Chains A and B, each alone.
Chain A
Amino acid sequence: MNAFEYAMPKSIDEAISLLSETPGESQVMAGGTDLVTALKQGIVSPKRVVSLRHIDELKSIEASGDGLRIGAMATLDDLAAHDGVKAGAASIVTAIKGIGSQQITSIGTIGGDLCQLPRDWYFRLGFGLVAQYEGKDLVAEGDNRYHAIFGNDGPAKFVNASVLAPALIALGAKASVVGSGGAKREIALEELFHAPKKSEDGNTTLASNEIVTHILLPLGARKNALYHVKPRHGLDWPIVSAAVAFENDGGKAKNARGGLGHVAPMPWVSASAAKALEGAALDEDTAAKVGAAAAEGASPLSRNAYKVHLTKVAVKRAILAAMA
């Protein structure tokens, strides 16, 4: 760990100023469950760490229109315990409970989960998000058992680590982002992520002085569920996850949306799956067909074809769980 300044702004404006003063050399800290490790291991070496923990307006979960306005610093425990989330977003509760660690969910936040760094082992060994070594693409030529099966035609082949993003995307969430001079923008959550061409481009589309302040989560009478495959019951991260949301229109799916986790450098939205589900009868046959559709276009690497199979199963089971 290098020596760094630790800033504790009390307001969003102050946080943006602190980030703007040191462009590209600051790191935003939310719960810190992963960042502290990354700092200690030298994966990130910022000159300044800007903690958002003392900005009270980022911690609340408020009703807003037909949904919720969730502060980026709301903890995962707060989210999972919220009545509105429990009633209208079971997929989010499943994702949080699946982490399997009280320590992480009590201090980890929704914003931190979304913006966290990949857990790719080449990245964590210091080879960068676009892992290269002596001209070799480490992921493509190395051990890619946990890597991307979609969106991996570019140089980045890690998988996005967020456990919440698939569920939030399926539910149509938006991210409220504040940046330079307090400028605000609202983006569909899937637009928060990208596959970088270069390691220094990061795994989100945020500018170095931008932060996610809130997540806008529409809640309605939608069926929704998430299914994830984890190696361990206890603390572990999914190998694959799938979230779905749809309305039950007389036994058929309407306004179907989905999100896949841990299969691409960004949370993956499968257009073919959404298409296969839209208007289809809500039955087991449909679930299996949508699962198969979700796997269309997969481009597995040398040893992760099993994740294509797991994607089919996870999507099928998410739909079945949502139907139940």
Chain B
Amino acid sequence: MAKNAWPPADKTVLMGKRIARLDGPAKSTGRAKYAYDMNRPGMLYARLLSSPHAAAKVTAINLDEAKKVPGVVGAWAEIATAEPDNEVRYAGEIIASVAATSEEAAREALTKIQVQYQVLPHLVDDTDATKSDGREQGEDKPDAAAVDAAISGAEVKVSGKYGLACITHACHESHGQVCEFGADGNLYVWPSTQNVSAYAGGLKDASGLAVNQIFVDCQYMGGGFGSKFDSGRWGAISVRISKETGKPVKLMLERDQELLIGGNRPSAYADVTVGATKDGTISVWSSNAWGSGGMGGAGRLGVPYVFTKIPNVRTLSKGVRTNRRGAVAWRAPGHPQACLITMAAIADLAAELKMDELEFFLKNVALTDRPEVYTEELKIAADMIGYKDKAHLRSNPTPGTLKRGLGIGIHTWGGIGNDSQTEVVINPDGAVSVSIGTQDLGVGTRTAVAIVAAETLGLPLDKVQANIGKNSYPPSGASGGSTTIGGVSASTRDASTIALNALLEKVAPVLGVTVDELEARDGKIQVAATPSKSLPWAKACSLLGQMPISGRGENKRGKGVSDGTILDDQGVGGVQIADVSVDVETGQVFINEFVAVQDCGRIVDLLTAESQVYGALIMGVTYALYEECIYDNITGRMLNADLEFYRLATLADVGKLKVHMMTGPGYDTRGVIGLGEPPVIAPGAAISNAVANAIGVRVPTLPLTPEKVLAALEQGGKLA
């Protein structure tokens, strides 16, 4: 009888190997259809009008001229024009919508809508909490005396300001969907979403339908990063327009709207004092932090990050409400900010001690929750980047104008598996279908589902059809918080095992053994002790007669699968080391090499796991060096709501990336753990520390632009 527990890592055929994405060819040839690619007969193009003002009241909206544009089918106000619901709280807020038979007509119609605004004062600057005009929230005031004493008693201490700008998700594929009411009265939706199984709930009101009449299909999606859990106002608006016009509707945000209202990762800034004993043991942390994602402020900053066992800690933290679209979950919410601020302060302390940064981190791993893991990973990462040969103290920079430096960042994350259900059907002809209402954000979830099923059933990968992306499949949780791989792997293993055991019941009498003696391997059902005694898979399945068999598997978050076996796990650590060069005359930062060492428990697909980390490093280089939502204090508008000045790293900018996944005892003996968040947490910290190591001074905030690097050099008296 097949068991749910994972087979030992050295006994697997597929799991843990490097396996290319099943949908790679479809994506690279353009056969894969994303929401934007969906076109339906008679489809209308809807577009949204955004407010140019960051704070205002709408007093009138005139749609008459917009409706006269040839091709326009309708135009609608999307905000009230009377108190109290007529307030605009951020630039980009949705004011009106239009639908037309062409994108051009829809765009032209937007220019014809006349809106009267009563402009109000706004605040868009989040860099200075003292100028927040009472918009702060959530400050805590822990007892100060013990920490003050620890600070004054610290043998070595440093104080600094650190931070990182508010950024956005900059999804390659903007938010939106195509929707159509069928002749059957049901609603069919093709969205870009991270949450296929629960997406329909957001469209109930707009459609007037029950959730079981709303069919969601998202086979491919071009980036969400936490910003695509719900259908959004744009989703509801497109359904309403479709219902009113009787036509299919495509509504995707324009690029500027994607950057304005797709969601923000909050900024974070902190004044930090951190102290240590002379031998380099951190003894005290005190910080006063603030930040903002926009109109909702920001959550509490979780510092000191990773080094949670520092004995004396005081943290003040507040959010500032600004006139920007609010915070939306961005990979590892709060962690990249906390990591940068913590690791930068700690590296500055090491520099003050004239102590090697790696040695300092190793010395203080006892203050973390995972000292053994970090110690092992730090040593591997150091070897990979050639730390011994390249390292130098901050006080001893390399010669010349192109200065080289190394920097370290370490991180942690949970990554428990989400609630998830899978159905596996074994057909009498041997064909296998695996169906699960999960989604593939581009990371390889479809492939992972197929790998787990094929491994469990002893089949080659191409004998398994993995069906995902529809809410008509068994429900599976939203892809957020690195919860997908643990959940889908567990439920798929469970379903495959249940289905297989039903098949083994048929095979056992034919081979004259009990079910417990059988296993599925190498395309056969065989007697484990005497593999020569076997039936080929197709032959075994023919015993089913006319009816397919199926197994329904389920993972319950934190409680395991149907028989109680725990197949997932949580809690990982990762170490990243950056090797950068900084041109101290121009302030340009160049990534030479960037190493990531990461654990994620049992690995399902080594190739896509590594690929997940590579992608995170690229995203990390991007926010470390380039990304920033730049708002204009006078007009309240975002100045770089485009991909020209909202810069994303190109491949020419990311340097040589090296990834090492932890395997072996203590790692792949654990369950499957999510990997979406962890590797994107530490890049800002590692790169900032590397720049400080290179140039001898700290550039306080990300992104590390030439302007800021030169300013830090000048302030440090190091500008050539």
Residues of A within 8 A of B (CB): 1-3, 40, 42, 100, 119, 121-122, 124-125, 127, 133, 136, 138, 141-143, 145, 229, 231-237, 239, 303-304, 306, 309-310, 313
B711 contacts A by Cβ under 8 Å: yes
> Complex Cα distance A313/B107, Å?
45
* Chain A hits for B107, CB < 8 A: 1, 40
Q: How large is the interface on B (under 10, 10 to 19, 20 to 34, 35 or more residues)?
A: 20 to 34
Chain B, interface SS category: loop
Residue in contact with B706 in the complex, picked from A100, A127, A143, A310, CB distance below 8 Å? A310
- Known pairs A125-B639, A138-B635, A306-B706; A100 contacts B586 (CB<8 A): no
At the interface, yes or no: B705 with Cβ under 8 Å from chain A? yes
Distance in angstroms from B333 CB to nearest chain A CB is 27
User: Do residues A143 and B650 form an inter-chain contact, with CB atoms below 8 A?
Assistant: no
**Residues 53-104 of B at the A interface (beta carbon under 8 Å):** 104
How distant is the Cα of A1 from the Cα of B632 in the complex, in angstroms?
A: 25
20 intermolecular pairs with C-beta atoms under 8 Å apart: A1-B107, A100-B650, A100-B652, A119-B645, A121-B639, A133-B634, A133-B635, A136-B634, A138-B634, A142-B635, A229-B588, A231-B626, A232-B626, A233-B650, A233-B653, A234-B652, A236-B647, A237-B644, A304-B707, A306-B711
Instruction: Tell me if B719 is interfacial: C-beta within 8 Å of chain A.
Output: yes
- A40–B256 Cα gap in the complex (Å)? 12
Q: In the complex, which residues 698-720 of chain B have their Cβ closer than 8 Å to any Cβ of chain A? A: 705-707, 710-711, 719
- B116 contacts A by Cβ under 8 Å: no
Number of A-B pairs whose CB atoms are under 8 Å? 83
B104 to chain A, nearest CB (A): 6
A313 to B583, CA, bound (A): 11
CA separation between A136 and B588, bound complex, in Å? 33
Cβ–Cβ contact A142 & B633, under 8 A: yes
Q: Do B632 and A138 have beta carbons less than 8 Å apart?
A: yes
Q: Which 7 pairs of residues, A with B, have the shortest CB-CB distance? A: A234-B650, A233-B652, A234-B652, A121-B639, A313-B585, A306-B710, A229-B586
B588, B625, B637, B639: which has the most chain A beta carbons within 10 Å? B639
B:259-305 near A, CB below 8 Å: none
B residues touching A (Cβ–Cβ < 8 Å)?
A: 104, 107-108, 111, 585-588, 590, 625-626, 630, 632-635, 637, 639-640, 642, 644-645, 647, 649-653, 705-707, 710-711, 719
Cβ of B634 and Cβ of A232 under 8 Å apart?
Answer: no
| A235→B647 CA distance, assembly (Å) | 10
The answer for the CA separation of A127 and B636 in the assembled complex, in Å, is: 13
- Beyond A1-B108, A310-B586, whether A141 also contacts B639 by CB under 8 A is no
Cβ–Cβ < 8 Å partners of A141 in chain B: 634
Q: Which of B108, B632, B710 lies at the interface centre, i.e. has the most chain A CB atoms within 10 A of its CB?
A: B632
On whether the beta carbons of A313 and B632 are closer than 8 Å, the reply is no
Q: Tell whether, in the assembled complex, residue B626 and residue A2 are in contact, meaning their CB atoms are under 8 Å apart.
A: no
Q: Could you say which of A1, A133, A234, A237 contacts B651, with CB atoms under 8 Å apart?
A: A234
Assess whether B706 is in contact with A231, with CB atoms less than 8 Å apart.
yes
Q: How far is the CA of A145 from the CA of B587 in the complex (A)?
A: 14
B617: min CB distance to chain A, Å: 16
For B639, the chain A residues whose CB sits under 8 A away are: 121-122, 125, 143
| Closest beta carbon of chain B to A219's beta carbon, Å | 30
Q: Which of A142, A229, A231, A309 is the one whose CB lies under 8 Å from B634?
A: A142
Contact present for A2 and B650 (CB under 8 Å) = no
Considering the chains assembled together, what is the distance between the CA atoms of A235 and B650 in angstroms?
8
Chain B residues with Cβ below 8 Å from A125 are 635, 637, 639
Q: Smallest distance from the beta carbon of A252 to chain B beta carbons, Å?
A: 25
Inter-chain CA distance A232–B587, complex, in Å, is 12
